Amino acid sequence: MISYLVRNTFARILRSHNAVNIVASSAFKKDIHTTIPSYELMEFFDSKKNWTETSIRVGRAWKLDELRIKSNSDLHKLWYVLLKERNMLYTMEHECNDKMKLFPNPERIDKVQESMNNIETVVRERNVAYYKLETGETGERPVEDVVNIFGLPEKYEKSEHYLPKFMNTRWVRPYLEHGFTNSAAVKRFYRLNREKQHNNDRKARNRDFNHVQQLLKRFPNMDMEKLKAEYPNVDLEKAKRSKKARGHYFPKY
Amino acid sequence: MRLYGFLAKKVGDLTIKYSNFPESYVKRSYEQVYWKNPSNYPQYPKAQVARKNYRFTTNRPWTSQFRMQNERNLHRKKVFLEPVGEWPIFKGDRVEIMVGKDKGKQGIVSQVIQERNWVIVEGLNTHIRIVGKNEKKNFPGITIQSEAPLLVTTDVKLVDPETLKPTEFEWRYTEEGDKVRVSMASSRIIPIPKTAEETMEYKSKEVYIENLEKDTVADAVTKVTFAPKLRTFEMDIMEEMGIKEDRVPAQSYWY
Amino acid sequence: MSTRWYPIYQRGNPQLRVFLPNFWMKLVRPRGTQLPNIVHFECSMEMTKHDIKNYLNKIYNIPVVEVRTKIFLGKFKRDIGKGYIVKDDDIKNAIVTLPKDMKFEYPDIFEKAKDETEEQEKALTEAKKSFQNYIDRNKNRSDVPSWFSI
């Protein structure tokens, strides 16, 4: 319904000899640059009438479903509009902080960022669909479940190499082959780690139990089903019987 | 990760809805992070030193009053909250007060503070506050009548639309599949009022005035321009811009 | 694949292109005086000089002659309560030279706001004065309503 952005933009190809090409889809390029007023640099600032404004109200961020119905080129243009908007907001925020002024509506930055994240999600969805159809794989960076050198399960994100594994003598990841390293030190670490985890679980359990006891003390007429739903691991009967759960009134149970 | 356990959702959904802010903004405006490891560097674990418990009050989390009430060295007693399950009472509901000096009176809910299970009923359950009293300047101060919050679980009850008596209610589904509140006394539906969708910025979505300089107009948003093609995003953009690329990437290996 | 994943380059591969750059840049006031055709930016730490040039050229259509970059070390501070040391993030600064005939002066954004605040202060002092007058006038007749006067 209401969203942030879109000014008239149209695409243009711009090439360079540098290593990485930013394929930008942005406003028209001026081939001859004129002197004095540099409007392109003024794009880093808000429009002049907003400079002294104390509140600049805007709509919400783009939602995923709204972006899904847009074509790739629309998304591409939208990305650059948002990118420029974000740069503008950063510049204005910086200047406001510098001059000890209040930056109006700082949530605009979050709205732009959210829209950008959503665009990226949609683009990724489309690419995954293409690769799944064409190759049967997602085309995402492959992730493998491995046991790391400390004997703990880990998600290992693979990286891209131009040499195959057997030729690449400089690449060393022994734990991928050996898995759990069977040394005394690792065994000790593993035991201590399990102990720590166990203690954490125990503390969480006790914390919940104590909390429920206090709740029973304060709210004796509480809805027990809702309590059970919120703290499923707590033994309510045991909590009711305990001394801590007794309030300054005649016990009901 | 355990470290982030305390950063789990604390601010209620209704509060975020009312503020009309992105959730990330609400979070960064009330959180107090004193130290944080640089993010997006593989060598640093996700660790931070931050305030763990916040005292939520009638002051909203993004306000400066909230920050003042949660100063760094100020720690207050834990607040116990009765589990409410699905949130029962919304802004604009007619409720009857069950406790206090206005017991038995009916009023309209003007504010919902989900973090504390509170509702504020307009003009009821009030006390008098004296603000700006100054003995030296011989200023008696200004008296303000302010409403005290009421617990949603015990202190107020919804009013039945037929009998106009306080009643219990139940969440049920209609035949169309909508979730509604049904009064136990008269089995009538208690509709969720229109004012429940009121936010800080607008009373309802329809009356929102677009900021023409910044916002996209609604028609441009709802227009469908997507046409499915057997291309990735990158291929589509390159074709549209006329970038020709015949070179085939050399084989690479993932490990 | 994530649009943030950067493929490796081998000779003969297609040119690497960034379709959705995530870099940010902000125009900042230069520290000290500066020639009129030099502009200072703060930018993402990951940006190289080439990236900065490309970014300004392609997205903003700003002709760039030269880019120099500098990384300012973040400040070290001692935490007031606990005493541990906290370091601010480093900042990458880009000093961009425009062509000789281009001029840029950092605009004074709060020029108008200054006059407004002065006016507001004036109005506030006026209001304070009139309120004081009102109190002085009603000092000895606390039982008379305020509207009752000649």
Report the 10 Å Cβ neighbour count for A134: 11
Element spanning C46, H or E: none
Nearest by CB to residue A23, choosing from C19, C24, C61, is C19
What are residue A128's phi and psi, to 5 degrees? -60, -40
pLDDT digits (tens, 9 = 90+) for B18-28: 999 999 999 99
Looking at residue C95, what is its pLDDT? 96
Positive or negative: CA dihedral A40, A46, A50, A51: negative
Instruction: For B99-118, write each residue's pLDDT tens digit.
Output: 999 999 999 999 999 999 99
C21 burial class (0-12, 13-18, 19+ CB within 10 angstroms)?
A: buried
Q: E strands along chain A, which residues?
A: 3-4, 20-22, 143-147, 153-157, 160-161
Using alpha carbons, select from A144, A47, A1 the residue that is nearest to residue B223: A1
Comparing CA positions, the residue from A124, C65, A68 lying closest to residue B223 is A68
CA distance A94 to A99: 9
| C112 to chain B, closest Cα gap in Å | 21
- Please check whether residue C130 touches A, CB under 8 A: no
pTM of the predicted model, to two decimals?
A: 0.85
Distance CA A156, CA A34 (A): 54
Residue of B34, B235, B243 to mutate, testing the C interface (most C Cβ within 10 Å of its Cβ): B34
pLDDT computed for residue A34 by the predictor = 42
pLDDT digits (tens, 9 = 90+) for C85-142: 999 889 999 999 999 999 999 999 888 777 778 888 999 999 989 888 887 887 777 7
Chain B residues within 8 A of A127 when measuring between CB atoms? 232-234
- Whether the per-residue pLDDT at A18 is higher than 60: the answer is no
Q: Please give, one letter per residue, the 3-state secondary structure of B119-167.
A: EEECCCCEEEEEECCECCCCECCEEEEEECCEECCCCEEEECCCCCCEC
Average pLDDT of C63-69?
Answer: 96
Using one digit for the tens of pLDDT, what is the confidence trace for A62-92?
999 999 999 999 999 999 999 999 999 999 9
**Interchain contact, A30 vs C61, CB within 8 Å:** yes
Chain A contacts in chain C segment 13-32 (CB below 8 A) = 15-22, 24-29
CB-nearest to A83 from C27, C28, C59 is C59
Cβ atoms of B54 and B30 within 8 Å: the answer is: yes
CA–CA separation, A93 and A74 (whole Å): 28
What three-state secondary structure class fits C42?
A: strand
User: Tokens 């429940």, residue?
Assistant: B196
**Rounded distance between C-alpha atoms, residue A197 and residue A189, angstroms:** 12
Nearest CB among C9, C26, C110 relative to A44 is that of C26
Per-residue DSSP letter, B61: T
Contact, C74 vs C89, CB < 8 A? yes
| CB spacing of C12 vs B250 below 8 angstroms | yes
Q: In whole angstroms, what is the distance from residue B58 CA to residue B64 CA?
A: 12
For residue C1, give the nearest of A87, A94, A127 by CB distance: A127
Whether B95 contacts B158, CB under 8 Å: yes
Residues 68-97 of C with CB under 8 A from A: none
Burial class for C28, CB neighbours closer than 10 Å (0-12, 13-18, 19+): buried
Please determine, for residue A26, whether its predicted confidence score (pLDDT) is greater than 50: no
Interface size, chain A vs chain C, as Cβ–Cβ contacts under 8 Å: 137
Tokens 């720590």 sit at which residue? A196
Show the tokens assigned to A192.
């201590």
Give CA–CA dist A177/A165, Å, rounded: 12
Residue A180 has a pLDDT of 62
Residue type at position A197 = Q
Q: What is the CB-side half-sphere exposure of residue A120 using CA atoms within 13 A?
A: 17
Q: Can you read off the two tokens belonging to residue B129?
A: 């506050």
pLDDT, average across residues C11-36: 92
Q: What is the ipTM metric for this complex?
A: 0.88
| Residue partners of A207: CB distance under 8 A and separation at least 6 | none
- The answer for residues whose C-beta is within 8 angstroms of residue B13's C-beta and 6 or more apart is B87, B114
Structure-token pair, residue A78: 């939208």
